[in-house]
Amino acid sequence: MQTRCPECNTLFKLNDTDLTIAEGEVQCGHCFYVFEADTGQDNFALNDEIDTSDIDINTFANSINDISDDFEDTSPSLTVTADNSVLFEKNPIIEDLVPPDIRYQHAPSSSLLAKSFWSVAIISLLLSACLQLIYFKRFELASHAQLRPYIISLCELADCEIPELRDLQRLELSSKNVYSHPNVDKALMITAVIVNQASFSQQFPTLQISFTNLVGDIIMARQFTPGEYLNTDADKLSDMQPGLPIQITLEVLDPGKNATAYEFSFI
């Protein structure tokens, strides 16, 4: 059965089963107008008489068959569901006219712009989080000689400060000698060699010497600045270079006979 929408004149195909389910009522898949299928079928009636006296019956029959074949291949159809809703099926003519390479392409939508925006936003947040982590961990990161140049460059941009590299555990004191001062009574002369065993240069530390008795109690201690044990002005001091031995000299009061041991430490 065929019917035509009285609203937009779109032609459809129907079957008796669909009409039975929908109780004869269908909905146009083009304009969504609801109408009785029998009413749409009345539109096939011709309003004007056609003069058929000059028409060859065989030629007319062949033409009708050709038109019928084309109509069956190309006409849209209606599908009636159980809830009386009608679905509009795809028209084969449209699929034939549209090139296959663009048939299923969709026009760009705002979703692409939204995805790009959120991608940029997420990357920005991750970058910001990484920079904040580097900022709060800059002292620890800067203690690594390989990372230090990069951390310093970032701190120059962020206007932050990086402390000098320092590892007192890598300072070694060797060749220690303690003897009576040759020119001062009740004084001692101490000489030693200090070596920076770290892989980087660092500032000279403050040196402390402690004298203890037999039970380990400190009976005398004194701290020496780099200028004091190097016998030079502090503003002329440079950093300790890795692996370079440096001779130091200390002068202290003699702690007396109760002093049985001494110890050096870096501060």
56-80 pLDDT per residue, tens: 555 555 555 555 555 444 444 444 4
- Tell me the two tokens of residue 190: 């101490």
What are the residues whose beta carbons fall under 8 Å from the beta carbon of 112, sequence distance 6 or more? Answer: none
Q: What confidence score (pLDDT) does residue 21 get?
A: 66
> Dihedral, CA atoms, 132, 136, 138, 139, nearest 10 degrees?
180
Higher pLDDT, 162 or 177: 177
Using 50, 70 and 90 to split pLDDT, how confident is the model at 122? very high
Q: Could you report the per-residue pLDDT of 214-266, keeping only the tens digit for each?
A: 888 999 999 999 988 888 887 778 888 999 999 998 899 999 888 889 899 99
**Which CATH topology does 169-266 take?**
Immunoglobulin-like (2.60.40)
Using 50, 70 and 90 to split pLDDT, how confident is the model at 197? very high
* CA separation, residue 70 to residues 67, 131, 237, 261 (Å): 5, 69, 102, 116
Q: What confidence score (pLDDT) does residue 109 get?
A: 54
Portion of the chain with pLDDT greater than 90, in percent = 18
CA angle 37, 43, 49 (to 5 degrees): 155
Specify the DSSP element, H or E, that contains 187. Answer: strand 187-196
- Are the C-beta atoms of residues 213 and 259 closer than 8 Å to each other? yes
- Are the C-beta atoms of residues 252 and 190 closer than 8 Å to each other? yes
Q: What confidence score (pLDDT) does residue 133 get?
A: 85
Judged against a pLDDT cut of 70, whether residue 97 lies above it is answered with: no
**Three-state DSSP class for residue 32:** coil
Q: Where do the domains of the chain lie?
A: 2-103, 110-158, 169-266
Q: What confidence score (pLDDT) does residue 50 get?
A: 47
Q: What confidence score (pLDDT) does residue 101 get?
A: 55
- Are the C-beta atoms of residues 250 and 264 closer than 8 Å to each other? no
* CA separation, residue 123 to residues 30, 87, 111, 126, 249 (Å): 45, 45, 18, 5, 58
